[in-house]
Amino acid sequence: MKITEIESNWFELPVKIKIGAMPKFKITGTLLKLKTDEGIEGVAAGHFVNSDEACAIFIRRWKKLILKRDPYDIEAITQDLINYTYRILIGNPIGISLVNCALWDIIGKSLGKPVHQLIGTYQRKVKAYASMPYWMKPDETVKMTKTALDERNFKAIKIRLGQGLDKDKAVIKALTDNFSPSELEVMVDVNSGYDLKTNLKLARILESHDHFKWLEEPVFSDEIDNLAELRSLVDISIAGGENNFGIHEFQTLLQKGAYDIIQPDATRSGGISIVKKIASLAEANGKLCIPHVFGTGLVQAANLQVIGSLSNCPYFEYGFYPDFILFSKDGSYELDTDGYIKIPDDPGLSFNLDEDEISKFLK
């Protein structure tokens, strides 16, 4: 089997969001299809960023590294992309990640097996937390949380803070007044919106309640010394890594003691193959690896497959936003009464792309 065609495009949705310190931005994404001479097609889509048009172009220019190659040579192809388009030429990490995910999709489909079985299944289901897409006022936060718990069976959520400590305190109070720790676990993400001093104050507030499990991306991911210092001063777990790429960056984060929980993303950090390696690094250092997930249903699918193979991943980040963003013919994943999602067992990434729906947004 050989790869015969690369089809990469980008899409833009009629939705704007504001997260942490970032300005409000439109939701976009990259869609990749790798086609083979046996009629098997591998599909992957990227995380929402502002460089998806460039990412689609990058991938098209990698023809010499991808075309006419056997998808089963996935490790060689991935390493060639890393070595010759990233480590030397400062290339596109999302593009590399999508190629790896699409190759796994091809391999799984050709064998009639889900990817998690091909890389070694550890768990058949995982606890999901409802990841809120943006900062919300206290009453809106409570309303969406009740919806997540009552209508979807979630037992855990992630909220976005970072718009000022006074606003944060109001959201925290609303949640802790309305929900007990036994009925709701809460993860907190400030998306690098605060400095070290402010994060320390926020951590102390969170630590005064039993609801809160971790503080995510407190400062920018390259502030390794600040991350390590914050972690040394607080009891709440510090999480992050969504903005890091490859095993070498994550090795440095672990060696420097930056995080208690690392969060690579299969569609950002190098692909399924690389996240699997990163998780092993974390395991060897006694750390959890809970992949970051933010994007379309294909982003969810790729990360859910690798999570099925991880022994140090107790949670799945489930984006709690409108279903039309998923582009799935099968709709949203269903949770059981305990708040768990079953790891899908269909071949490849176990995702049924709605071609008609996504075509409306392709550029």
In a domain, 360, yes or no: no
Q: Is residue 24 pLDDT above 80, yes or no? A: no
Place of tokens 């991911």: 221
pLDDT of residue 86: 82
Structural domain contains residue 278: yes
Q: How confident is the model at residue 97 (pLDDT cuts 50, 70, 90)?
A: very high
SS3 13: strand
- pLDDT tens track for 190-205: 999 999 999 999 999 9
Residue ending a domain, among 112, 136, 169, is 112
Residue 1 confidence (pLDDT): 98
In a domain, 362, yes or no: no
**Domain around 22:** 3-112
Strands 185-189 and 212-216: parallel
pLDDT at residue 130, as a whole number: 97
Residue 30, pLDDT above cutoff 70:
yes
User: Is residue 283 a part of any domain in this protein?
Assistant: yes
pTM for this model (two decimals): 0.95
Q: Is the pLDDT of residue 39 over 80?
A: yes
Clarify whether residues 156 and 272 are in a common domain.
Answer: yes
Between CA 272 and CA 74 the distance in angstroms is: 11
In the 8-state DSSP scheme, what is residue 147? H
Q: What are 282-327's pLDDT values in tens digits?
A: 999 999 999 999 889 999 999 999 999 999 999 999 999 766 688 9
Q: What sign for the dihedral angle of Cα 312, 315, 317, 318?
A: positive
Say if residue 203 is in the same domain as residue 299: yes
Same domain, yes or no: 18 and 157: no
Residue 234: inside a domain, yes or no? yes
Whether residues 316 and 262 fall in one domain: yes
**226 in a structural domain:** yes
- Report the SS3 class of residue 254: helix
pLDDT at residue 20, rounded to an integer:
67
- List alpha helices for 155-296, DSSP H: 165-178, 196-207, 224-233, 246-255, 272-284
Same domain, residue pair 108 and 154: no
CA–CA gap between residue 159 and residue 190 (Å, rounded): 9
In Å, what is the CA distance from 314 to each residue of 158, 265, 287? 15, 15, 12
Residue range 132-154: mean pLDDT, rounded: 95
Number of domains in the chain: 2
- Determine the residue type at 320: F
27 occurs within a structural domain = yes
Say which CATH number the domain at 326 has. Answer: 3.20.20.120
Residue 306 is predicted with a pLDDT of 99
Q: Is residue 101 located within the same domain as residue 127?
A: no
How many CB atoms neighbour CB 358 within 10 A? 22
Domain termination residue (choose one: 82, 112, 142): 112
Residue 363, domain member (yes or no) = no
Length of the chain: 363
Query: How far is 286 from 280, CA to CA, in rounded Å?
Result: 10
DSSP tally for the chain: helices H, then strands E: 13, 12
- Extract the tokens encoding 184: 């709701």
**Are residues 231 and 199 both part of a single domain?**
yes
Q: What is the mean pLDDT of the segment spanning 170-193? A: 97
Nearest to 214 by CA among 144, 287, 163: 287
Domain shared by 62 and 91, yes or no: yes
Q: Are residues 242 and 328 in the same domain?
A: yes
Asked if 44 and 193 sit in the same domain, the reply is no
Please give the order of strands across the beta sheet that includes 41-45. Answer: 3-17, 25-36, 41-45
Last residue of one domain, picked from the residues 89, 112, 135: 112
Question: What is the β-pairing status of strands 125-131 and 156-160?
Answer: parallel
Are 18 and 123 contained in the same domain? Answer: no
Q: Which helix (H) or strand (E) holds 107?
A: helix 93-111
Give the pLDDT confidence score for residue 27 in this predicted structure.
Answer: 83
* Residue 96: CATH number of its domain: 3.30.390.10
Statement: residue 189 has pLDDT above 70: yes
Are residues 64 and 137 both part of a single domain? Answer: no
